């Protein structure tokens, strides 16, 4: 009897050990997938637009005096500084005109000095009764006339200096030159339509220009409680810019101008941003992606890696780890992209676990061994200056 009991106990032990071993083997066979709870952080809703870069200043350089073009001092496309010499126009005649005007100043100065001496001399003679009053009056007139002619001669000197200065066309600001449009030896600055010598563009800072639809304008106004921004608040509004081919927004500036009314032809509102462009990577005419705040802030938004979102005929979905570590498909409503994270507006709870990578291995209904990860905050909201 005792032997039968011992035999039964041994059989039970072998059975339990076998079941434990089988459970361990089953656990070891489960696919291990990285999962994470959604990150919670404050995010700002944005409006994303397509626009163009535009130079802040574009100036057509023209000849303001007539003469033949002597020399070009830049290479086409060169970066120049304010005040750099760009063109030299024939100077000989303008130097001669300056010398002539300065000589006239000296002559009128001498005439004025002589008239003043004569006035004083004839005043003395008049007091002694040796000269008539009409002679004194005549020299007073000559002195006043000489003073006026001296002032006119000095003005001619200033005009001659100005014309001589116009023979040197200089850069009005730091910028990049276009190609020259007139070759040396040609006469420029003649009467009639002014002839453009070249164009210069300011590229730093640079504008980005886009148009808001009427619906987007109303969305922003609703988010602001139908309150109009002051000019100071407008200039504090950030604008993020990226190239058309990229995904991120590496350039940052602020809103510089908003049109006061919708364009009746297009039904859109012009918005212009200003940003620094020291490396001149943005060029006028570039298509750019522009992101501006819509005015609404979500204090505790749920964010998941954008790569974790998949699409099928039903819409956008995530793979969720459900009870007993069994995977489920969960359709969600997406919000803004914040760096590499995507805002989830609905369909996800803060405590749920989301499969973040190896999605090709994750099929709804399968049981997994979760590897819990922690999501890092996105650089999109916190890193913007």
pLDDT over 90 (residue 161):
yes
Do 129 and 145 reside in the same domain of the chain?
Answer: yes
Residues in the chain: 385
pLDDT tens profile 187-216: 998 777 788 999 999 999 999 999 888 887
Residue 344 · residue 8 · CB < 8 Å: no
Q: Domain total for the chain?
A: 4
pLDDT over 50 (residue 22):
no
At residue 183, the pLDDT reads 94
At residue 291, the pLDDT reads 86
Whether residue 112 lies inside any domain: the answer is yes
Residue 252, Cα to own-chain centre: how many angstroms? 7
Listed residues 297, 331, 351: the one ending a domain: 297
Whether residue 21 lies inside any domain: the answer is no
pLDDT confidence band for 18 (50 / 70 / 90):
low
Q: Of 58-72, 98-112, 208-222, 316-330, where does mean pLDDT reach its minimum? A: 208-222
pLDDT tens profile 243-291: 877 667 889 999 888 888 888 888 888 889 999 998 888 999 999 998 8
Between 183 and 42, whose confidence is greater? 183
Listed residues 297, 322, 346: the one ending a domain: 297
DSSP 3-state of 268: strand
Stretch 371-380: mean pLDDT, rounded? 78
Closest among 212, 336, 274 to 53, alpha carbons compared: 274
Whether residue 238 lies inside any domain: the answer is yes
Residue 187 belongs to what domain range? 64-88+168-194
Q: What are phi and psi of 126, to 5 degrees?
A: -65, -40
pLDDT confidence band for 217 (50 / 70 / 90):
confident
Do 261 and 158 reside in the same domain of the chain?
Answer: no
Do 350 and 367 reside in the same domain of the chain?
Answer: yes
- This prediction's pTM: 0.66
Stretch 213-233: mean pLDDT, rounded? 71
Query: What's the CATH number where 374 sits?
Result: 2.40.420.20
Whether residue 7 lies inside any domain: the answer is no
């Amino acid at each position: 009897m005792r032997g039968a009991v011992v035999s039964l106990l041994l059989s039970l032990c072998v059975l339990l050990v076998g079941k434990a071993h089988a459970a361990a083997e089953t656990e070891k066979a489960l696919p291990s997938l990285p999962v994470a709870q959604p990150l919670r952080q404050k995010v700002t809703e944005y409006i994303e637009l397509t626009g163009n870069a535009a130079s802040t200043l574009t100036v057509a350089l023209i000849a303001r005096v007539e003469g033949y073009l002597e020399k070009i001092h830049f290479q086409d496309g060169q970066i120049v500084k304010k005040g750099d010499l760009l063109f030299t126009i024939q100077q000989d005649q303008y130097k001669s005109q300056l010398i002539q005007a300065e000589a006239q100043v000296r002559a009128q100065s001498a005439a004025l000095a002589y008239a003043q001496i004569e006035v004083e001399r004839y005043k003395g003679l008049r007091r002694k009764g040796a000269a008539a009053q009409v002679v004194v009056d005549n020299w007073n007139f000559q002195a006043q006339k000489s003073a006026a002619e001296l002032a006119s001669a000095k003005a001619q000197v200033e005009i001659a200096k100005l014309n001589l200065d116009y023979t040197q066309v200089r850069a009005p600001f730091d910028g990049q030159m276009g190609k020259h449009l007139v070759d040396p030896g040609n006469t420029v600055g003649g009467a009639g339509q002014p002839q453009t010598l070249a164009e210069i563009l300011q590229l730093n800072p640079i504008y980005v220009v886009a148009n808001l639809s009427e619906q987007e304008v109303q969305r922003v106004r609703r988010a602001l409680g139908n309150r109009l921004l002051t000019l100071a608040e407008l200039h504090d509004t950030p604008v993020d810019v990226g190239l058309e081919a990229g995904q991120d927004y590496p350039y940052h500036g602020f809103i510089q101008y908003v049109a006061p009314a919708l364009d009746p032809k297009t039904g859109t509102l012009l918005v212009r941003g200003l940003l620094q462009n020291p490396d001149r990577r943005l060029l006028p005419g570039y298509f750019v992606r522009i992101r501006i705040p819509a005015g609404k802030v979500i204090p505790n938004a749920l964010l998941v890696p954008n790569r974790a979102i998949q699409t099928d005929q039903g819409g956008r979905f995530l793979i969720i780890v459900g009870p007993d570590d069994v995977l489920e498909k969960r359709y969600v409503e997406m919000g803004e992209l914040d760096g590499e994270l995507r805002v989830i507006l609905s369909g996800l709870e803060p405590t749920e676990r989301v499969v973040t990578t190896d999605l090709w291995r994750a099929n709804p209904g399968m049981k997994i061994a979760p590897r819990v990860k922690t999501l890092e905050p996105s650089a999109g909201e916190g890193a913007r200056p």
